[in-house]
Homo-oligomer: A and B are copies of this chain.
Amino acid sequence: MGLRERNRHNTLVVTQRTAIEMFVEHGFDEVKVTDIAAEVDIAPSTLYRHFPTKESIVVWDEHDDEYGPAIARALQDRSPFEALRCAFVTVLAERYDTDTEFQLLRAQLMSDVPSIYAASASDDAETQEQLAHLIAPHLGDHDLDTARLLAGAALLASYWAFDRWQAESAARPLAQLIDEAFDRISHLAAVR
């Protein structure tokens, strides 16, 4: 990883953290993109080179590229659905349990600001498609539609866990909630 790439990554992280603090303090609509750029000390045009929209500053996840490898690893010795569970627990848990305050702020913005919520939902649709393509080859019939359903269920489980985690202000560790969510969703028919 060259200097250029590291610098870029650093700028992304600093911009995101600064912006989220500003959004939480003054409100998403009140904080203008130029304000953020000024605070981070970059030009607005530079900010727009990194983040395509104002919302994406919040939605972007610096650990997004860890899911692919984690899932590929887990697929070696687990069923597809279990592999997703395992990967989610591994990647999400450690991060959210060490960087709790910041992730709570981010979660708050994502659920409270409609336009951010919408942007994040769009993102999730793409994630679902990517997950489906990852696991489809590991299904008995290689059926992409089945894979999409599994991926959707896995995402549903993780968002449910995430919502609860946020609602109870990180009282329980995220890993535990994710496990519970996957368990319950695997046995939906048994719910009364």
Q: Which residues of A contact B (CB under 8 A)?
A: 79-81, 114, 117-119, 121-122, 124-125, 139-140, 145-146, 148-150, 152-153, 156, 159-160, 163-164, 181, 184-189, 191-192
Contact = CB atoms under 8 A, between A and B. Distances in A.
B185 A188 contact: yes
Contact of A121 (B121, B184, B191): B121
Contacts of A159: 152
Contacts of A187: 189
State the majority secondary structure of interface residues on A.
Answer: helix
Q: How many copies does the complex hold?
A: 2
Contacts of A148: 160, 163
A125 B117 CA distance: 9
Given A117-B121, A121-B125, 18 more contacts: A80-B191, A81-B191, A118-B118, A121-B124, A139-B191, A139-B192, A145-B160, A146-B191, A148-B163, A149-B160, A149-B181, A149-B188, A152-B156, A152-B159, A153-B156, A153-B185, A185-B188, A188-B188
